[in-house]
Amino acid sequence: MKKIYLIIFFVSLIKVRAQNVQSAVKFNLGIGMEYRLTPLKDVFEMPSSYINFEANLSGVPAKFWLAYHFKPNWYAGFKYCVRYDHTGIDNSALTGDYQVINSSFSLISDYVLYLQKLFPLAKDNKLSVKLGYAWMNQGVNTSIFENNRFHIYHYNFSALNIEVDYHYKFFFLGTGIYYNPAENHTNYSGQMQLLYLTMGFNVLKF
Amino acid sequence: MMKKYLLFIILLSLYQIQAQTKNDWKIKLKIGNELRIPVLNYVEDNSLQSNHNGLLSFNINRDLKAFLNGFPIHYAVEFKIYKTWSFEFQHSIHYDHVAYKEAVQNVAGQKTVSSGLNQFFSDYKFSFFKYFIIDERQQFNLNLGYSFNGLGSYYWVYQHHYLTTTSNHYTSFHLESNYQYKFMSLGLGIYVLDQPDFNVFTGSIKAEDFSNYLIYFNLDFDILKF
């Protein structure tokens, strides 16, 4: 009988410790992918055709994030997306008329700061909503020589980011949008609405 | 002796429960590749017209056979919806031909040799699966779905001092059957190209000039179930 009490005591201790570990989780590190679809209408327009924003913005970035658990079911996080994608055209490769050439490609980054609210559904299932602010297209810069001088064009912009995810254990699947409502920018004009699907893993909690 | 026998039964039951729960997945991650094989009636030498904003008309030299066939690798995530039914999203990655570098084959009556323009592009594939369980280790499945293909296959055309971009995007339906043994599955499928959205190949090409289907073999490995 004493042994049984002893076992119950140890099991309780383990459970208490497990709960403490759960509540002690402060940071969440994850990796995933985004599948960006063709931007919706009103995509940016360029004064000259040296960049195709449809090609530039629709792509498949890899991402990782670090989130801070500051309150039950609330996280504040930073997400970093990186893709190797179309940046424009390097027309120095042109040697004459009637030619087909591919785009210039480079590594393009997006930074997102976000707040996330979790809604537990069942033991292993959760819904979450993320609201963030994104600094997009970091690394897309082009120099164009026209009218006897060089012009530097930066194609980075900021956007609001909303994402809804379904979580099952350490995996999640979701959908979201990047939205830029502004009409006038330094080097281009128009709005931007970019829908995407996403999935990923929470790989480390500590 | 009785105790050992009881212990053996308990351990065996535990093992069986575990075996059952192993098959009781909700989400499955897979990696694999497809081998898209040639079918008859492809146009080898296809100078196609493509209109851009109604302003210009280009003769772009593409090779449909080289573009559509290939050996893409993919990864996929599959969700069990109900018992033997599931839904899958798959992302395929190609490095393949998109066009030839000369927009027209003959300039001023001279023969020109044009090398191919190759680059990375993707397919997004959405499928519904129905499983037919044969035994604990073997199963058969049928899946049906819709794909967005050639995503990212943009390139630029220069003609008469104008630059413009075009792409080889197209959409398709697919039907596939797989035989699965443990964590590996082998399959055979068909893509039926969705003509109305096959935007870049409308123009001078005629429907009877090429087959609007692609046959493929599929190899998948389940790498994680939970």
Q: Which residues does residue B26 pair with via DSSP β-bridges, in sequence order?
A: none
Q: Residues of A88-98 as b/e, b for ≥16 C-beta within 10 angstroms?
A: bbeeeeeeeeb
A98 and B159 in contact by Cβ < 8 A?
Answer: yes
Contact B174, B188 (CB under 8 A): no
Strand-pair category, A141-146 with A149-154: antiparallel
Is residue A60 included in any domain, yes or no?
Answer: yes
A173 contacts B154? CB cut-off 8 A: no
Q: What are the pLDDT digits (tens) for A123-165?
A: 889 999 999 999 998 988 777 777 788 877 778 888 999 999 9
- Determine the distance in angstroms separating the CA of A144 from the nearest CA of chain B, rounded to an integer: 14
| Interface test mutation site (partner A, options B28, B88, B156, B159, max chain A beta carbons within 10 A) | B156
A164 neighbors A144 (Cβ within 8 angstroms): no
| Upper half-sphere CA count for residue B71 (Cβ side, 13 Å) | 0
Which chain A residues are Cβ-neighbours of B117 within 8 angstroms?
Answer: 100-102
Q: What integer pLDDT is reported at residue B35 of this predicted model?
A: 92
Instruction: Establish if A33 touches chain B: CB-CB under 8 angstroms.
Output: yes
Distance, CA of B157 to CA of A112 (rounded, Å):
35
pLDDT at A12: 53
Domain enclosing residue A49, as ranges: 26-205
Taking 80 as the threshold, does the pLDDT of residue A110 lie above it?
yes
Helix ranges (DSSP H) in A24-174: 53-57
Q: Which residue of A has its CA nearest to B119?
A: A102
Q: Would residue A157 count as lying in a domain?
A: yes
For residue A137, the domain's CATH number is 2.40.160.20
Contact between B104 and A98 (Cβ < 8 Å) = yes
> Is the Cβ of A98 closer than 8 Å to some Cβ of chain B?
yes
Q: What is the pLDDT of residue A142?
A: 78
Give the position of tokens 């123009």: B203
In this complex, is the C-beta atom of B103 within 8 Å of any C-beta atom belonging to chain A? yes
Closest CA in chain B for residue A58? B152
The helix/strand count (H/E) of chain A reads as 2, 11
Which residues in chain A have Cβ-Cβ distances shorter than 8 Å to B61? 100
Select the residue from A44, A45, A86, A100 to test the B interface by mutation, using most B Cβ atoms within 10 A. Answer: A100
Whole-prediction pTM value?
0.79
Residue type, A92: S
Nearest to B158 among A97, A168, A173 (CB): A97
Say whether pLDDT at B86 is over 70. yes
Length of chain B: 226
pLDDT at B186 over 70: yes
DSSP label at residue B121: E
Chain A residue numbers touching B50 (CB-CB < 8 A) = none
Confidence (pLDDT) at A74:
95
Find which of B115-119, B148-152, B173-177 is predicted with most confidence, using mean pLDDT. Answer: B173-177
pLDDT in tens, B39-51: 655 544 444 444 4
Q: What is the pLDDT of residue A48?
A: 60
CA gap B205, B61 in Å, rounded: 12
pLDDT in tens, B160-181: 777 777 777 778 899 999 999 9
**Is A50 contained in some domain?**
yes
Of the pLDDT bands very low, low, confident and very high (cuts 50, 70, 90), residue B68 is: confident
In this complex, which of A50, A84, A100 lies closest to B157 when CB atoms are compared?
Answer: A100
pLDDT at B89 over 90: yes
> Would A1 be classed as within a structural domain?
no
Which residues have C-beta within 8 Å of that of residue B30, sequence separation ≥ 6?
B75, B76, B77, B78, B220, B221, B222, B223
A73 in any annotated domain: yes
**Torsion angle, CA of A176/A182/A188/A189, rounded to 10 degrees?**
100
User: Using the beta-carbon criterion (under 8 Å), do B104 and A98 form an inter-chain contact?
Assistant: yes
- ipTM over the 0.90 cut-off: no
A135 vs B: CB within 8 A: no
| Beta-carbon contacts of residue B162 (< 8 Å; ≥ 6 apart) | B55, B56
Residues paired with residue A114 on neighbouring β-strands, in sequence order: A77, A132
Instruction: Tell me the C-alpha distance between A138 and A121, whole Å.
Output: 37
Strand ranges (E), A37-140? 62-71, 74-88, 99-101, 104-120, 125-138
> Which positions in chain A touch B76 (Cβ < 8 Å)?
none
Contact B197, B40 (CB under 8 A): no
Residue A4 lies in a domain: no
Q: Are B48 and B204 in contact (CB under 8 A)?
A: yes
Q: Which residue of B has its CA nearest to A50?
A: B163
Tell me the residue length of chain A.
Answer: 206
Judged by a CB distance cut-off of 8 A, whether residue B158 touches chain A is yes
Q: What is the mean pLDDT of residues B7-26?
A: 57
A85 interfacial to chain B (CB closer than 8 Å): yes
Q: Is B200 on the interface with A (CB under 8 A)?
A: no
Higher-confidence residue of A18 and A172: namely A172
Question: Is A19 strand, coil or helix?
Answer: helix
* pLDDT exceeds 80 at position A20: no
CA distance B61 to B59: 6
Q: For position A42, what pLDDT does the model report?
A: 61
Q: Which of B119, B114, B184, B122 minimizes the C-alpha distance to B149?
A: B122
Contact check, Cβ <8 Å, B79/A173: yes
Closest chain A residue to the Cα of B105, Cα to Cα: A98
Cα distance between residue A95 and residue B139, in whole Å? 57
Provide the number of structural domains found in chain A: 1
